[in-house]
Each structure stands twice: as C-alpha cells, then as structure tokens.
C-alpha cells in the first residue's frame, strides 16, 4: 500500500489515536536505553515515535527515521524540526545506505507487513545493527482486524477487499522463524489485542473505517455498498452494539 497524501493524513491521525499511543508506550517499555545510542526506526511514518527516542538517548545520541514515502517524511520533518539529533532518510528498509554494525537499536511499527520481500528488509536490519543489539517490531495479525457491525455480509465484503492492502497478513506468526534465519536470538512475541466500541476522534476505529472505505472504493466496490457499510456501523454505535478489534503483536529479538 502506498502511503501517499490522502492515506498519509489518515495514517497520521491513526498514529495519534489511542492505538498508536499504546503501541509506542509498549515499544519504549521494552527497550534498554543508554545515553548516546543510535536508533533506527524503520517505516517511521509521520515520526510519532522519534521525539521520545531522542529524549531517551539524549543529545549525544542519534535517531534515524527511515521511510520511502515523501508525504510521510515531510510530516515527520514538520513534527521533528526542533530536535537536532533526529535525521530523516527517504529510503526503503532493504536499502538503508547505513554502515554495517552502526546502529544500537532498531524499531519498526506496522511496516514490515507491507514489504513484499520482507527477508531482504530483515537482512538489512541484521547488517546495520550491532552484535547483541535489540530489534523491536510491532506488526498486526490482519485476520483479526475486524469491524463488528450488525450486517455481517457488509463487514465481510469490506474485510475481504482489504486483504489486498498488505503482503503479509499474519507476519507475527512467522517473524520468529524469519528473524532466527537472519541470526537473531532471544526472540519473543506478545499480543497486544484490543477492542474499541466507539468511533470518536481518538478512536482507531474511526480512522481504520476511513482507510477501509477508501481502499474498497479504489478496489471497485460500489459507492452505495461502502456507504451502507458505514451507515450500519454508525447505527450500531448509536445502539450500543458496535465493536472494532485488532491484534497487534510486539516481537523482541537480539542479534547474536
């Protein structure tokens, strides 16, 4: 999926929602920071994680935010322009142009599943990260990314169409094996599932609904079907029977 202008704006609202905050907190809790470290965030998007990483490593440290999307890198520049030790790289994960063994920590959130040749991205991470250093990833089990409106045939139609939005629907299920092949050890995963029952401004459901609707229209689903789907979700919320579930997974590993 291309994170160009329209999608980039919705994605950044999603990153600012409760779901985005929770996964960033989880990543920060799972890292052992030392002042002066260099940290690479792969698929940094609008740069929401970068300021906290910069605080954690102090002025002597360095944060690299990498993303191939022009719109996302521009948003990250705006967010981080007052922080001197953040550098943004408009590059893909499998070609970072960084020196081998030059990074102390690599983080990535909801990005690896969008990369067709995910092994080439993992190989590049293993190349740039120092021995014994930490890699922390959050990816979503997309089979569990579901809207629970009352009309199941409409939910299913939209969910089915959305399957095409990324290359690896269930990446956390196979990430441990893929990391181990690249020389990582101490690999562990933990689910961070959630349910939301509201579609307000701080709810990931609001922005997920916008993304799915946009994607369905682009995939040729008729406008009236997409509007019907959104109307039934709105009615379900009014009736107190709306639900949206997602199942992110945090995976930690160290290079040997």
Ligand X SMILES: C[S@@+](CC[C@H](N)C(=O)[O-])C[C@H]1O[C@@H](n2cnc3c(N)ncnc32)[C@H](O)[C@@H]1O
Residue 73, CA atoms < 13 Å, CB-side half-sphere:
14
Among 10, 28, 55, 68, binds ligand X (CB under 6 A): 68
Q: Toward ligand X, which CB reaches closer, 125 or 255?
A: 125
Is residue 139 close enough to count as binding ligand X by CB under 6 A? Answer: no
Is residue 93 close enough to count as binding ligand X by CB under 6 A? Answer: yes
Structure tokens at 104: 């102390």
Helices 18-29 and 204-218, interaxial angle, to 10°? 110
Binding to ligand X (CB under 6 A) within 94-113 occurs at 109-111
Is residue 204 close enough to count as binding ligand X by CB under 6 A? Answer: no
Among 17, 38, 72, 139, binds ligand X (CB under 6 A): 72
Span of 42-50, 55-63, 77-85, 208-216 interacting with ligand X by CB under 6 A: 42-50
**Inter-CA distances, 245 with 73, 118, 177, Å:** 29, 25, 26
CB of 178 to ligand X, least distance (A): 15
Contact (CB, 8 A) for 221 and 183: no
Q: Toward ligand X, which CB reaches closer, 43 or 61?
A: 43
Residue carrying structure tokens 């022009």: 70
Task: Kindly give, in sequence order, each residue whose CB lies less than 8 Å from that of residue 228, ignoring residues fewer than 6 positions away.
Answer: 151, 154
Residues that bind ligand X (CB under 6 A): 3, 11, 15, 20, 42-45, 48, 67-69, 72, 92-93, 109-111, 114-115
């Amino acid at each position: 999926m291309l994170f160009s202008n329209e999608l980039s704006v919705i994605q950044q609202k999603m990153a600012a929602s409760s779901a985005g905050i929770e996964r960033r907190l989880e990543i920060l809790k799972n890292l052992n920071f030392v002042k002066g470290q260099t940290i690479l965030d792969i698929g940094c998007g609008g740069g929401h994680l970068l300021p906290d990483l910069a605080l954690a490593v102090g002025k002597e440290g360095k944060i690299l935010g990498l993303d191939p999307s022009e719109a996302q890198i521009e948003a990250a520049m705006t967010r981080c322009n007052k922080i001197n030790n953040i550098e943004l790289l408009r590059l893909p994960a499998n070609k970072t142009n960084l020196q081998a063994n030059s990074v102390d920590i690599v983080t990535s959130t909801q990005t690896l599943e969008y990369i067709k040749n995910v092994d080439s991205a993992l190989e590049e991470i293993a190349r740039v990260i120092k021995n014994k250093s930490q890699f922390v990833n959050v990816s979503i089990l997309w089979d569990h990314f579901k809207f629970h409106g009352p009309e199941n045939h409409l939910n299913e139609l939209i969910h089915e169409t959305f399957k095409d939005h990324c290359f690896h629907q269930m990446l956390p299920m196979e990430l441990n094996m893929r990391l181990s092949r690249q020389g990582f050890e101490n690999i562990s995963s933990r689910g961070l599932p959630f349910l939301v029952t509201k579609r307000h401004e701080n709810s990931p459901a609001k922005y997920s609904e916008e993304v799915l609707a946009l994607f369905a229209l682009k995939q040729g689903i008729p406008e009236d079907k997409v509007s019907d789907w959104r109307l039934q979700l709105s009615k379900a919320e009014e009736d107190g029977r709306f639900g949206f579930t997602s199942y992110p997974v945090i995976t930690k590993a160290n290079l040997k």
